[in-house]
A and B are shown apart, each in its own frame.
Chain A
Amino acid sequence: MTVAEQQLTARARRAYELGRLRWALGRGAAAVAVTAVALAVCPSPAAPAACAAGLGVLVAACLWRGGAWGRGARLGFFAGLAPCLLPAASRTFHVCTSAMCLAMPTVCLTAGVIAGLLLGWLGLRLPGHGDRRFWLAAGAAAFLAGATGCLAAGLAGLGGMALGILAGAAAPVLAARAV
């Protein structure tokens, strides 16, 4: 390889990394924008906003890294939309009256189970699901997306959502192992 070609290779490599970073940041910002819908109806948005920001950074970093990290974060984000948006939807459509608000942890638990089922069911069908990094990224993204919606229901909501994700994901994974 000539010197000129070596320089061109270095330039191309830099362009690839920068282009990838720009692309990943755009996707991270889009993820934040989607989860921001949950913040709009949240009574105390500071902590959920921090979760949304964390989700944006996580999605951007995983997509930039690519491979199992990227696939996992993508799946985790989509699965996490259920616990992110369901509590907000229940508030918006006035399901959350003063009495019903006590049941918000239940909404989060149910949404968590849906997210977990999606994670387990879809994750097992994606390439590279045997990779630990895939599940780490998926779990973290689902948790942060869910926390953006469920943190408004207090720690009970957050705990319920986390429990739901674990229980929901365990079902298809255990079923697949049993076969």
Chain B
Amino acid sequence: MERVEREELQRDLERLADGDRGAFHPVFVRLWPLLRGFAARCLPWGEAEDAAQETLIRIFTRAAEFDRGRDALTWVLGIAANEIRTALKRRRRRREHPDEALAGRPDGGRSPEESAAAAERELALGVALATLRPADAETLLAYARGERPDLPGPTFRKRVERALVRLRTAWRLNHDRR
């Protein structure tokens, strides 16, 4: 999410918390695609849609509690991460019924345990990446994909190192909170 969008989300969520019903639509329009995309990274399509809907409802239920001192995106993604974690647990429990579990498995090559653990890791990484500055997140994603932006090598390496330090801090913060 770009810095401008992030600031707008912050402002709109603060207005919604203050009781300004006019901020409902902008928040909805901004959050729905974000949550759908976020859930789709960890869950198969049908379940991702359900989890995104539940997250959206939960966010609006708790909108009045939003504290303007907090970062809106981190708050939203925290709720989304909890909802996705619940969906993942539900999937794990469903493994007791092998037919259903096989039908819902996103990756036929992995065992259910491996899939769940990978999804958990991806979720935590997604939350940590989303809390970084967009430039840092882009640098890390480019590095992970093996791409080299139009930059001198040492500059890019420095940027990757700095972004990794920030990612580690965000990851640690996220894990300590849990």
Contacts and interface: CB of A to CB of B under 8 A. Distances in A.
Interface of A: 5, 8-9, 11-13, 15-16, 18-20, 23-24, 63-67, 69-71
B61 interface: yes
Nearest to A9: B28
B97 to A, nearest CB: 28
A35 to B, nearest CB: 22
A23 B57 contact: no
Nearest to A27: B64
Interface of B: 16, 18-20, 24, 28, 32, 53, 56-58, 60-65
B64 A18 contact: no
A174 B24 CA distance: 38
Contacts of A67: 18-20
A13 B27 CA distance: 11
B61 A16 contact: yes
B15 to A, nearest CB: 9
B65 A8 contact: no
Contacts of B56: 8, 12
Contacts of A20: 19, 63-64
User: Which residue among A12, A19, A65, A66 has the maximum number of chain B CB atoms within 10 Å of its CB?
Assistant: A12
A87 B48 CA distance: 58
A16 B18 contact: no
A71 to B, nearest CB: 8
A65 B24 contact: no
Contacts of A13: 24, 60
Given A66-B18, A66-B20, A23 B60 contact: no
The 9 closest A-B pairs by CB, nearest first: A66-B19, A19-B61, A16-B60, A23-B64, A20-B64, A12-B60, A15-B61, A15-B60, A15-B57
